Amino acid sequence: NAGVTQTPKFQVLKTGQSMTLQCAQDMNHEYMSWYRQDPGMGLRLIHYSVGAGITDQGEVPNGYNVSRSTTEDFPLRLLSAAPSQTSVYFCASRKTARTGELFFGEGSRLTVL
Amino acid sequence: KQEVTQIPAALSVPEGENLVLNCSFTDSAIYNLQWFRQDPGKGLTSLLLIQSSQREQTSGRLNASLDKSSGRSTLYIAASQPGDSATYLCAAMKTSYDKVIFGPGTSLSVIP
| Residue A67 pLDDT > 70 | yes
Strands A42-51 and A31-38: antiparallel
Chain A neighbors of B43, CB-CB under 8 A? 90, 104-107
Residues B9-38, mean pLDDT to the nearest whole number: 91
Sequence-distant contacts of A80-84: CB under 8 A, at least 24 apart: A80/A16, A80/A17, A80/A18, A81/A13, A81/A14, A81/A15, A81/A16, A81/A17, A81/A18, A81/A19, A81/A110, A81/A112, A82/A15, A82/A112, A83/A15, A83/A112, A83/A113, A84/A112
Q: How many CB pairs under 8 A join A and B?
A: 44
Between chains, do B36 and A48 touch, taking CB under 8 Å as contact? no
pLDDT band at residue A1 using 50, 70 and 90 as cut-offs: low
pLDDT at B27: 72
